[in-house]
Amino acid sequence: MSGCDPPTVGAGWGDHPLAWLLTYSGSDCKLWRYVHQKCTEAELCREAASLLPTIDYSLEEHKCLQTT
């Protein structure tokens, strides 16, 4: 598979921040809010997140956005 970029390694959210936000059940809200911020800065992620209420889900209701 020459010419393919290797998968992103790091905090675990890599190239799929919305999927990570939806499945993260840890207690590190600082990390969750950071990934959420990055998602809102990216047009595709932001648009996909805006569609979540059509399936009765909202990232704004996540526990990490309810705490300061």
In the chain, the number of structural domains is 1
Residue 5 lies in a domain: no
Residue 41 lies in a domain: yes
The residue segments making up the domain with residue 42 are: 17-66
Tokens of 33: 């809010």
Residue 26 lies in a domain: yes
Q: Cα(49)–Cα(47) distance, rounded to whole angstroms?
A: 5
Residue 6 lies in a domain: no
How big is the chain, counted in residues? 68
Instruction: List all residues 6 or more positions away from 16 whose beta carbon is below 8 Å from its beta carbon.
Output: none
Helix (H, G, I), strand (E, B) or coil at 5: coil
At residue 14, the pLDDT reads: 62
At residue 8, the pLDDT reads: 45
Residue 33 lies in a domain: yes
pLDDT (tens, 9 = 90+) of the chain, 68 residues, equals 455 654 444 445 567 888 889 888 888 999 999 999 999 998 989 999 999 999 998 888 888 888 65
Tell which residue, 24, 51, 43, has the closest CA to residue 33.
Answer: 24
Residue 45 lies in a domain: yes
Other beta carbons within 10 angstroms of residue 7's beta carbon come to 7
The pTM for the full model equals 0.71
